[in-house]
Amino acid sequence: APSGALAGWISGHTAFSPYLPAVVGMLGGSLMGIGISFRNYRQIIGPMKNMIQYLENLAGRCGITEIGRMDTVSDIRKAFIYLLSDLTKRLQDIALRLNESVAVLRETSTQTTGDALAIASSVEAVISDINGIRDNAGNMSAAARAVGRRVEEGTGSLQTIMGEVEAIRDTIGLAGEFIADLSGKSIKVTRALELITSLSAQTNLLSLNAAIEAARAGEHGRGFAVVAQEVQKLAGQSAQAAGEISVIMQEILQGVQQAGRMFEEGYERVSKGTGTAGAAMDVLNGIMGTLQELVARNERMPAIIDGIAASIRNIGAATREQTAAMEKVSLLAQDTSVLMENLRSLGQRFQT
């Protein structure tokens, strides 16, 4: 019904004015052109203004002032190419510096990796040496204990010897005193013999005088002369015996004096031996103390060595981790170098 009314209205007006359809067609075409233009504006002009604004902001952030106004598409194209060229140059500079840094990093990484591997090898060798030292420390402790037992035995034996030497020294001292006393008595006997010899000489002289007097008395002095002769014989025999005893006593006195000197020398030697034995005892006691301290230190050494070995193992583990990290850095440097080469090629493409 409405469409029929509209058709009737159009038919009536068309019949009234023959130009009305043409006017309506023109109006419809104008409205359609306006719609298309508005759509093109929204799809083309708006994004272009946004792009111009973005390019101006980008140029401002990059410090580029040579772009100027962008009123036409050609201006936009020139500005875009200029921005790309400037950006490409900057990227090339960055790529060059980064490539140099990557080369240095790669060389450093290679050297560090070699050093790390050498350190790791040295760590293993040090750990092996430390284990050997630990075993040697245990053997040294056992040897020190054995030596300590020997030193204790030697100390006991030396103490026994010192006791015997001191007893010998005391005996020699007493013997020396006895010999000295005997020497004094021998001297007294010698003096007594000298006195007997003197008395014998005087008796012989008196008997000689008595014989002379008996000869003068003649027959009356004959018995007295016989007695005088007997006395003279006894005096001679006494003098001869005293002389022989004196010789023997001189020999005994010389032997006693020589024995006394030998006992004195022996006493001095025994005294020196006692002092030497005492010094040896002090040395053995010092050695024993040193051995005890050495054993105590050796007993503590395995724990210390284990701690050192653990620290060195940690160093080795850290070195291996560093080696792995350096290998990753080297790979990263290679990837970065490839990326920089691609970036350089891309920049050259934009310049052309």
Give residue 203's pLDDT. Answer: 76
| Alpha carbon distance 269, 264 (integer Å) | 9
pLDDT of 340 strictly over 60:
yes
Kindly state whether residue 246 falls inside one of the protein's structural domains.
Answer: yes
Q: CB of 226 within 8 A of CB of 289?
A: no
Structural domain for 255, as ranges? 143-335
pLDDT of 19 strictly over 70:
no
Select from 163, 162, 144, 160 the least CA-distant residue to 288: 144
Kindly state whether residue 256 falls inside one of the protein's structural domains.
Answer: yes
Kindly state whether residue 161 falls inside one of the protein's structural domains.
Answer: yes
Measured from the Cβ of residue 59, the count of other Cβ atoms closer than 10 Å reads 19
Q: Which residue has the tokens 């015997």?
A: 164
Q: Give me the helices (H) in the chain, please.
A: 2-16, 20-40, 46-62, 73-217, 222-351
Q: Which long-range contacts (CB under 8 A, 24 or more apart) does 240-243 make?
A: 242/193, 242/196, 242/197, 242/200, 243/197
Q: CB of 172 within 8 A of CB of 269?
A: no
Select from 226, 191, 198, 196 the least CA-distant residue to 210: 226
Query: Given pLDDT bands bounded at 50, 70 and 90, which one contains residue 16?
Result: very low
Kindly state whether residue 54 falls inside one of the protein's structural domains.
Answer: no
Q: How far is CA 230 from CA 113, 208, 235, 346, in A?
A: 130, 11, 8, 163
Domain count, the chain: 1
pLDDT of 251 strictly over 50:
yes
CATH of the domain at 180: 1.10.287.950
Kindly state whether residue 132 falls inside one of the protein's structural domains.
Answer: no
Residues 89-122 have pLDDT tens digits of 766 676 667 666 666 666 766 666 666 666 666 6
Across the range 315-325, mean pLDDT stands at 68
Kindly state whether residue 298 falls inside one of the protein's structural domains.
Answer: yes
Residues 142-173 have pLDDT tens digits of 766 777 677 677 677 667 777 777 777 677 77
42 three-state secondary structure = helix
| Alpha carbon distance 188, 311 (integer Å) | 90
Conformation bin of residue 327: beta by default, left when phi > 0, alpha when psi is -120 to 50: alpha
Kindly state whether residue 342 falls inside one of the protein's structural domains.
Answer: no
pLDDT of 8 strictly over 60:
no
Across the range 10-25, mean pLDDT stands at 54
Give residue 39's pLDDT. Answer: 61
Measured from the Cβ of residue 230, the count of other Cβ atoms closer than 10 Å reads 11
| Alpha carbon distance 160, 154 (integer Å) | 10
| Alpha carbon distance 214, 206 (integer Å) | 12
- Residue 82, CB-side half-sphere exposure with 13 Å CA sphere: 18
Kindly state the DSSP code that residue 72 receives in the 8-state scheme: S
pLDDT of 305 strictly over 70:
no
218 three-state secondary structure = helix
Mean pLDDT of all residues belonging to the chain: 67
Q: Which amino acid is at 313?
A: R
Kindly state whether residue 237 falls inside one of the protein's structural domains.
Answer: yes
